[in-house]
C-alpha cells in the first residue's frame, strides 16, 4: 500500500513539473531544458530555510516559488532574446551552472553529500508525516498547479502565448510585447516547478544535486512531449504513464542493475517512437517536430 502511495506522490510531483513545463514548451514554444534546475532551486530553498532558519512550511513554499521565479527572470531576460536552438543551449548552460553550484558550494548546500534530515511539513500545527497525508498535500498542490496553468492558457494571455509560439513576427505586428510575454511565462513556469521541489524535499527528507540534473530535465520534457505538448491534460497523462510504466518493470523480475538501464532505454525508445509516429503526443494539439510546414500557400487566383 505504501508503495502505491509512493508512486502516486511521484505522479503528483511530475504532474506539477510537466504541467508547468508545458506552459513553456507546449503553449509558448520555448524549449527549456533547465526545468530541473528550477525544481532544484525550489527544493534547496525550502530545505535550507527549514534546516537553518526553522521557518514554517508555507513560508518556505512561498519563498521557494518567489526565488525560482526571480531566478527565472534573471535567466530569462537575456536568454529569451535568443533564437530557438540558441535558447535551448542557454538553458542547458544554466542547468549545468545550477548543478555545479549545488554540487560545489559545500558549506551552504552540503555539496554532493546533500542535505539530510529535512523536517516534515507542518501546516497550522498539523504535521504531515504519513504517505497518505503527503499524497493529499501533493495532490492539492498538483491540482492548484493545474488550475493555475489552465486559467492562464484559457485567458487572453494564453491566446497571446499560442500566437507567440506560432509566429512571433505576427504577434509583434498585432501589438504584443513578445519578449515580455516570454519572460512572464518563463517566471511562472519556474515558480510552479519550485512547488514540486518543495514537496520532493520535504517528502524524501533528503536531497542531493543528482536529483536535479539535465537528465531530469529531459525526463520532464519527455513527459510533456509524450503526453502531448500544448495540452495540460496530456501532461497529467504523460506523468502517469512515464512514472508508472517503469515501475511495472520491477515485477518482470529483472535484476535491479539491469532494470535501471532498461528504464533509460524505455524512455529513449518511447520518445523516438512518439516523435516519429505521433509528434502531438497522446492528446496534444501542438505537433512538436512538424512545425516546418510550408508557410507559403499557393494563390487561389
Contacts to another protein by CB under 8 A: 151-152, 155-157, 159-160, 162-163, 166-167, 169-178, 184, 188, 285-286, 295-301
Q: Pick the closer one to another protein by CB: 169 or 276.
A: 169
Q: Which residue number, 84 or 166, has a Cβ lying nearer to another protein? A: 166
The alpha-carbon radius of gyration of the chain (Å, integer) is: 19
Q: Which is nearer to another protein, 167 or 247 (CB)?
A: 167
223 SS3 class = helix
For residue 297, what is the enclosing H or E element? none
Q: How many CB atoms lie within 10 A of CB 263?
A: 16
Minimum CB–partner distance for residue 81 and another protein (Å): 13
Ramachandran region of residue 111, left (φ > 0), alpha (ψ -120 to 50) or beta? left
| Residue 161 CB, nearest approach to another protein (Å) | 10
User: What residue has cell string 525550502?
Assistant: 46
- Give the whole-angstrom CA distance, residue 41 versus residue 209: 10
User: CA-to-CA distance for 260 and 105, rounded, in angstroms?
Assistant: 29
- Closest distance of CB 166 from another protein, Å: 5
By beta-carbon proximity to another protein, the closer residue of 129 and 155 is: 155
Q: Which helix (H) or strand (E) holds 252?
A: none
CB of 231 to another protein, least distance (A): 13
φ, ψ for residue 265 (rounded to 5)?
A: -60, -40
Q: Rounded to a whole number, what is the largest CA-CA distance in the chain?
A: 73
Least distance to another protein, CB of residue 163, Å? 5
In the complex, least distance from residue 178 CB atom to another protein, rounded to whole angstroms: 7
Cβ-based nearer residue to another protein, 166 or 268: 166
- Among residues 152 and 271, whose Cβ is nearest to another protein? 152
For the chain, first and last CA: distance in Å? 67
CA 44 – CA 46 distance, rounded (Å): 5
Amino acid at each position: 500500500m505504501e508503495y502505491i502511495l509512493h508512486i502516486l506522490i511521484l505522479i503528483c510531483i511530475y504532474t506539477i513539473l510537466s504541467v508547468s513545463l508545458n506552459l513553456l514548451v507546449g503553449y509558448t514554444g520555448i524549449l527549456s531544458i533547465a526545468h530541473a534546475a528550477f525544481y532544484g532551486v525550489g527544493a534547496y530553498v525550502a530545505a535550507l530555510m527549514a534546516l537553518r532558519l526553522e521557518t514554517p512550511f508555507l513560508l518556505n513554499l512561498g519563498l521557494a516559488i518567489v526565488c525560482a521565479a526571480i531566478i527565472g527572470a534573471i535567466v530569462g531576460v537575456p536568454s529569451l532574446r535568443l533564437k530557438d536552438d540558441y535558447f535551448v543551449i542557454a538553458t542547458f548552460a544554466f542547468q549545468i551552472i545550477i548543478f555545479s553550484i549545488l554540487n560545489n558550494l559545500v558549506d551552504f548546500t552540503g555539496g554532493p553529500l546533500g542535505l539530510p534530515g529535512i523536517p516534515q511539513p507542518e501546516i497550522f500545527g498539523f504535521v504531515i508525516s504519513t504517505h497518505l497525508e503527503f499524497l493529499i498535500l501533493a495532490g492539492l498542490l498538483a491540482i492548484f498547479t493545474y488550475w493555475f496553468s489552465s486559467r492562464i492558457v484559457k485567458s487572453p494571455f494564453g491566446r497571446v502565448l499560442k500566437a507567440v509560439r506560432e509566429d512571433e513576427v505576427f504577434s509583434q505586428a498585432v501589438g504584443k510585447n513578445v519578449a515580455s510575454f516570454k519572460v512572464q511565462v518563463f517566471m511562472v513556469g519556474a515558480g510552479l516547478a519550485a512547488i514540486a521541489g518543495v514537496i520532493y524535499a520535504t517528502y524524501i527528507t533528503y536531497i542531493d544535486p543528482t536529483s536535479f540534473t539535465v537528465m531530469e530535465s529531459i525526463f520532464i520534457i519527455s513527459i510533456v512531449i509524450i503526453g502531448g505538448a500544448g495540452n495540460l491534460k496530456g501532461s497529467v497523462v504523460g506523468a502517469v504513464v512515464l512514472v508508472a510504466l517503469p515501475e511495472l518493470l520491477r515485477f518482470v523480475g529483472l535484476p535491479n542493475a539491469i532494470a535501471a538501464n532498461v528504464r533509460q532505454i524505455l524512455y529513449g525508445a518511447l520518445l523516438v517512437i512518439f516523435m516519429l509516429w505521433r509528434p502531438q503526443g497522446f492528446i496534444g494539439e501542438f505537433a512538436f517536430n512538424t512545425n516546418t510546414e510550408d508557410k507559403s500557400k499557393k494563390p487561389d487566383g
